[in-house]
Structure 1
Amino acid sequence: MKKRGLWFLIGISIVLLGGIIGWLNWPPDPTKLVTHGLERLNAATSFRFSLTQHQWVEGKDRVLVQVQGEKEGTNTRVLGELTGSEVELVKIGDSTFSKDPFSKKWIKFANGQAAQQVFLAELNPLSSLQMKELGEVVLSGQGKVNGEKVWVCQLKPSVQNQMMEDYWSDFQYTLYIRKSDKMLVKATIEAKNKAKSDPMTMTLEFKDIGKKITIQKPTI
């Protein structure tokens, strides 16, 4: 009787475990998955990110943007290269500071300066993920990002970014959404230049989402 009871408990445990594993791997509704993933990332109070943008120019692959950054509340720090020039930018509240690549001194932008607004919009990773309409969303498979299991979704949305709309068309997004908490952790954006139809690829990666990050005001 004891053995029979033990085998019964083992059988129940296997069935329950199989059910849990099956539930975790059951394909979710792709539209709901993408909507939830975008909402969670936009609501995050902090994260670190990388942004790389490639464009084909006269048959050659050119790196336009290659930066890393971090966000903490309304504060942001970005470091890397923009069209071949070094850039280091810190935004603390309503104040924005830029490090001169030659003198290495920090310069404070005048509040509301037009160039500052354009600069921030171009380097804000979330601005590239704003969409008017998702369109058809396809769950194309599964994968891993930084060792974590993800769902992979593809879509051709209508974007809500004026700068992107002015210069690019035929947008195709591939979004990687972490299985464990449905958080968007990576995005690849493909598009074509409106003037010459040259292809563009942008890759965004996010990590340390929701973790404590401290961004300090530069010393001028």
Structure 2
Amino acid sequence: MDWQQWHDAYDTPESPLARRLLTVQDRIREALDACPPGPLRVISLCAGQARDLLGVLPSHTRRDDVHARLVELDPQNTDLAASAARSAGLHQIETVTADAALLDHYAGLAPADLVLICGLFGNITDQDIERTIDACAQLTRTGGRVIWTRHRKTPDRVPLICRWFEERGFAGEWLTGEGQLQSVGVHRFDGRPAPLQLGVRVFEFVGYEKLRAPGSTD
């Protein structure tokens, strides 16, 4: 898969991914608006080109408060994200070319005010979705938010994802309607963050096409 080319769908205004991006950006704005005064921490897993966060921060009033870490395995995408951040004068944006599944990459920034998990849940198994949500209790501060996405194709895992978050002390704040193919959710963490488990990998990136292949159970 050419993950840089994959992002081209965002440039087609009526595509499902483009509409999803706008929704995620709206939720990011609201999450930043709701954060308390002072420095803010943002973590993005499998950040890609970070069009979600970098599409919001340049014009947001909290832009200079945000220290963000974008973790993405594809070096072309991290280069593009880093260039976009520099061009916008966002000097507290870290782009890390690495495996986002390894919790070590969030040390020093977790627990964060905002955790972005966009474009991941449709590419990993159900077991790894639950493991990633479990890790969110390490990545998110009390009162912080997770913004996540998942398609609603059969089997629709969105209700299960919401249940997994709620079982771990997260309260559902917002969810796209059932009629939307690309679902976006926002969960607020009301629990106490657990210590970050260094050396732990929480998912294996399988890929949407493999997961949807005949015989797959996820």
What's the TM-score once normalised by structure 2's chain length?
0.32
| Structure with larger Rg | 1
More strand by share: 1
What's the TM-score once normalised by structure 1's chain length?
0.31
